[in-house]
Structure 1
Amino acid sequence: MSYRLEDYDYDLPEHLVAQTPSPARDRCALMVLHRFSGRVEHRRFGDLPSYLRSGDVLVLNDTRVVPARLLGTKETGGRAEVLVLDPYKPPEEGKQAGYRCLVKSSKPPKEGGRLLLEGDVTATVVQRDEDGQAVLLFDCDNLLHVLEHKGRVPLPPYIRRESHREREEDRFDYQTVYAREPGAVAAPTAGLHFTRELLDAVDAMGVDVVRVTLHVGFGTFAPVRTEDIREHVMHSEYVRISEEAAQRIRAAKSEGRRVIAVGTTVVRTLEWAAYRFGEVRAVSGLCDHYIYPGYAFRVVDAMITNFHLPKTSLLLLVSAFAGRERILAAYREAVRNEYRFFSYGDAMLIV
């Protein structure tokens, strides 16, 4: 086992970074990695039911991506861009305490400065940090409503679009078909491959489909910057597990049925609850649970995930689950077979 960050790197040709999704969600490539043997299979995502069985619990993250980017100008002139990092905050709380935002402009706005943004909204800077983040007060009653109607999709930095122009399809493509709880600023991308028809087929074969919520934050793309991975500090994201979901997951574990997480966000949600309580219980709050090699998994038996960036906490998480050598070997095979990587890319099932 290695705790050196440099040991979680790999070479990826730039043309394999997917800029748009597969034309059909469930027709993307699916690599199946058997984590105890290292065996690899190459399938299509629509083949997923053949790896499931009646009684399995398939856990989805039902967060909904908010178009949380607003363009505008500073009142002193000059372009500005705002990404609202906590759009899930209740409007009453947001009007009093403000929203934490990432602000981009030629010169950082000063505290007390105002930004004139899309949707005829004005934002006042009440606190500014050195990392480009700031707390803004918006002069509107319901910021989430403004963002849903006037905001832009906050795509990851490796998905390139011309200037500030949007690809209209991103509003649909960068959203799971089961999204329902608005609050994320990044998609839980493992879930992008599901269609409603595939979920119906899974349900019909006796798989118990359970939903939890983790509002994915922009920090999910942040690289690990410490040479010793144990020194990394995770960003916090809002999590909610209902009593019903917790009961169904506990029942599966007590009966020896598999819990299959759709995405690293679900893995972190379930493992965080189990770490706190010794089992999955109903809970809500900010989760900064960090999973890296050496971690003892308490809940998750299998996971569906995408192919992750080098030297990130996401790659460390899947390495903790399947082993660093097997994950990197699988990634090298994915490169040889021209798999598509990252958010709009292909999928991996680790069993």
Structure 2
Amino acid sequence: MQLHDFDFHLPSENIAIRPAVPRDSAKLLHVDGDAPFANKIVSDLPNLLRAGDILVFNDTKVIPAQLEGRRGEARIGVTLHKRIDLRSWQAFVRNGKRLKPGQQIIFGADVTAHATDKLPDGSFYIRFDGDEPVETLLHRAGTMPLPPYIAAKRNIDERDYDDYQTMFADKEGAVAAPTAALHFTPELMDNLARAGILTATLTLHVGAGTFLPVKVENVADHKMHAEWGVIEPETADKINNVRANGGRVIAVGTTSLRLMESAAGDDGLLHPFSGETDIFITPGYEFKIINGLMTNFHLPKSTLFMLVSALMGRAKMQHIYAHAIKNDYRFYSYGDSSLLLPE
């Protein structure tokens, strides 16, 4: 497969820079097997699923992982990507040519860090100075790491600290939101429960690598950045019981999907999981656990568009996205949603 196989034209006016208010008023494109596409809204979800189905959410919490600093006279931008230990992170660095291992970055608000190593992909290991917890330092000096396609259009503001966090956010560690779950509200969760639809949570700390473009033409040559996740034993048991009773497992977001598929065993069961995953799902992949996916609309030529193409078929996804563009669906992190149920 070639990168251009996953390209499509997206008008800039279809890119959302603010979420829908209320959250569950966003559009939802319902794609169920061979049935005609149906234009719904997220609050319709209880009527689109069956009693006994389970929605699986990612409860990661986004940290203020974007930092602006200086090394001498040079401006240095740092986006934390993956935690290494209590004080160290792997980070993508803007203006990294002006930074060498051993040099200090001054972020302001009495927050400093040292670059300890430079990696072959151009990223750095960054170690924060002092004894205060890194989380405290980030809340003092960092900002929310909005995706580049939003940050390029407007400045980050106070609204984003709420808007870019799901109602399930609990375990700090993500540098990007699991955006499919941004559409959920307490009222919607109550309606889902009344409809007999079950829920479960897992944790995958989304890394900044989710924003990186694919730079190889042969898709098979692309290397995913690893992300850390956990599926607790009781969560695995709950999901396996749903499957055994004929219910469908619906991943809310590509992060939930990727972690569940990473934890799938050859026995057809979901197993408890704790560790890193760099699973890369492209057309031809055979799904082992999930039966459907609720997800936002993704970038052209992205690994996430490849993933949904694996689930629904590449040609069909092109038709789905053409329908979404024609019907003024909003794309990307703050955009509208889709419920994708393969045949």
Pairwise TM-score range, normalised by the shorter structure: over 0.9
1:233 matched to 2:230: no
Q: CA deviation at 1:83?
A: 1.6
Q: How many residues align?
A: 340
Q: CA deviation at 1:277?
A: 6.7
1:27 matched to 2:25: yes
Structure 1 residues 42-51 or 230-239, which shifts more?
230-239
Question: Letter of the aligned partner of 1:31 in structure 2?
Answer: L
Q: 1:57 aligns with which of 54, 57, 60?
A: 54
2:287 paired residue number = 297
Structure 1 residues 108-117 or 131-140, which shifts more?
131-140
2:65 paired residue number = 68
Question: Letter of the aligned partner of 1:273 in structure 2?
Answer: A
| Cα deviation 1:8-52 (Å, max 9, x = unaligned) | 111111111111111221111110112x31520001111111012
8 Å Cα contact 1:78-1:106 kept in structure 2: no
1:242 matched to 2:240: no
Question: Letter of the aligned partner of 1:60 in structure 2?
Answer: F
Counterparts of 2:36 and 2:262, CA distance in 1: 29
Percent of residue pairs identical: 41
8 Å Cα contact 2:107-2:141 kept in structure 1: no
8 Å Cα contact 1:81-1:105 kept in structure 2: yes
Q: CA deviation at 1:278?
A: 4.3
1:342 paired residue number = 332
Counterparts of 1:277 and 1:99, CA distance in 2: 36
Question: Letter of the aligned partner of 2:233 in structure 1?
Answer: E
Structure 2: 5+ residue runs without aligned partners? none
TM-score, normalised to structure 1, is 0.92
1:80 paired residue number = 76
Q: CA deviation at 1:230?
A: 2.4
1:48 paired residue number = 45
Counterparts of 1:116 and 1:155, CA distance in 2: 22
Q: CA deviation at 1:161?
A: 5.3
Q: CA deviation at 1:100?
A: 1.1
1:147 paired residue number = 138
What SS does the aligned partner of 1:85 have?
A: strand
Root mean square deviation of aligned Cα: 1.7
Counterparts of 1:301 and 1:181, CA distance in 2: 26
8 Å Cα contact 1:18-1:345 kept in structure 2: yes
Question: Letter of the aligned partner of 1:66 in structure 2?
Answer: I
Superposed counterparts of 1:235-274, under 5 Å: 235-274=225-264
Counterparts of 1:205 and 1:149, CA distance in 2: 43
Counterparts of 1:275 and 1:65, CA distance in 2: 29
Q: 1:6 aligns with which of 4, 7, 15?
A: 4
Structure 1: 5+ residue runs without aligned partners? none
Q: 1:203 aligns with which of 187, 190, 193?
A: 193
Counterparts of 2:51 and 2:268, CA distance in 1: 26
Structure 1 residues 269-278 or 15-24, which shifts more?
269-278
Counterparts of 2:171 and 2:96, CA distance in 1: 34
8 Å Cα contact 1:114-1:122 kept in structure 2: yes
Counterparts of 1:311 and 1:334, CA distance in 2: 17
Counterparts of 1:149 and 1:213, CA distance in 2: 25
What SS does the aligned partner of 1:83 have?
A: strand
Q: CA deviation at 1:166?
A: 2.5
Question: Letter of the aligned partner of 1:69 in structure 2?
Answer: Q
2:150 paired residue number = 159
Q: 1:190 aligns with which of 180, 183, 201?
A: 180
1:213 paired residue number = 203
Q: 2:103 aligns with which of 113, 117, 121?
A: 113
Counterparts of 2:283 and 2:67, CA distance in 1: 38
**Cα gap change, 1:204 to 1:276, in 2 (>3 Å):** same
What SS does the aligned partner of 2:239 have?
A: helix
What SS does the aligned partner of 1:191 have?
A: helix
8 Å Cα contact 2:80-2:208 kept in structure 1: no
| Cα deviation 1:67-112 (Å, max 9, x = unaligned) | 11122211x222222222225x5xxx334xx321122237421221
Counterparts of 1:181 and 1:77, CA distance in 2: 36
Q: CA deviation at 1:301?
A: 0.7
Question: Letter of the aligned partner of 1:190 in structure 2?
Answer: A
The structure 1 segments of at least 4 consecutive aligned residues displaced by more than 4 Å after TM superposition are 275-278
8 Å Cα contact 2:268-2:289 kept in structure 1: no
Q: CA deviation at 1:119?
A: 2.8
